[in-house]
Amino acid sequence: MAKPKVYVTRQFFDEPVALLKTVADVEVFGEEDDPIPRDLLKEKIADASGIIPMLTDKIDGELMDLAPQLRVVSNYAVGYNNIVVPDATARGIMVTNTPDVLNDSTADCAFMLLMAAARRLVEVDRYVRDGKWVRAWGPKMLLGSDVSGKTLGIVGMGRIGRGMVPRAQGFNMRVLYNNRNRLGREEEEELGVEYRTFDDLLKESDFVSLHVPLGGATEHIISERELKLMKKSAFLINTARGPVVDEKALTTALRERWIAGAGLDVLEKEPTPPDNPLLTLDNVVVAPHIGSSTMETRLAMAMRAAENVVAALKDERPRDLVNPEVLETSR
């Protein structure tokens, strides 16, 4: 009996491919850095029972209708806004993601950006490399901002948002949070965090770190109004999704010094064009969506994605099923 086919849309790690091969024939797109062209994906998915896409791959009803045998879409990410989940559910296709395994690495990245923005790390590194360090030292030379003892405001208390708490407390920071559903009093006390309304958090925080999923309610959750509520000495950190922030408004805010600076791992368009005006500013640190980019985390994510596919193809419930209601639907 022929094995089902699984298609992976980017070069992958050997270990999860080996796991997939225990239940399926596996084909992997040959490029490491470039996303698969949609026309090629349409061709490759036609006889696939499972697919492991990247965030850059739009998986919608049009694509699903070309794959009559498709049973599972196992996203290689914790977010899944690249997948039209209702389309999948309507067609009896399971959707999974890779939560938990990237919590620490992404929280590390967010705090790295916070520190780098506060102490102007990229700017001072360039200062030395460009030969501008011609005086040994000066009282007002390249002044940054303290992190220790300041106030961190966390928007979104999911796994990664919670991961920011001990990192901040290690720097003796006061931690405020805002979340769609407020935590219980005991949990707040246990974590050492204080709840604030969204506007009050923006007004009180020295650093605002975004950890919300992208959806209708969170798109441009930070725009001109919100930026003008923040302290002029405050910094905005975004490791969530680019469209959570109105990039045009942020560019204006940074240029006109409504806020002190920003640290961004995500942008509205990725990759961002080299003529993006944001990139001309010294008071922003920009990374190319590397929140989970450590060897350990990316391999763990790949294994989790593969495990979800294996479970689905063995008619078992995948560990990270996003649309459990699909189990009531037969394709």
Say whether 317 is catalytic.
no
Q: Which of 10, 167, 289, 298 is catalytic?
A: 289
Residues 24 and 320: their CA atoms lie apart, in Å, by 20
| Chain mean position to CA 256 | 27
Instruction: Enter the tokens of residue 261.
Output: 């600076």
Say whether 241 is catalytic.
yes
Angle 159-169/103-118 helices, nearest 10 degrees? 50
For the chain, give me the number of helices (H) and strands (E)? Answer: 12, 12
186 neighbors 216 (Cβ within 8 angstroms): no
Residues 160 and 239: their CA atoms lie apart, in Å, by 10
Q: Which of 15, 62, 189, 270 is catalytic?
A: 270
Helix (H, G, I), strand (E, B) or coil at 177: strand
Amino acid letter, 49? S
Strands (DSSP E) found in the chain: 5-8, 25-28, 50-52, 72-74, 94-96, 151-155, 174-178, 194-195, 207-210, 235-238, 261-264, 284-286
CA distances from 80 to 56, 59, 83 (A): 10, 10, 6
Q: Which of 120, 162, 241, 298 is catalytic?
A: 241
The closest alpha carbon to 247, from 213, 215, 270, 231, belongs to 270
Say whether 220 is catalytic.
no
Helix (H) or strand (E) holding 253: helix 247-255
The closest alpha carbon to 26, from 40, 47, 42, belongs to 47
- For the annotated catalytic residues, the residue numbers are 241, 270, 289
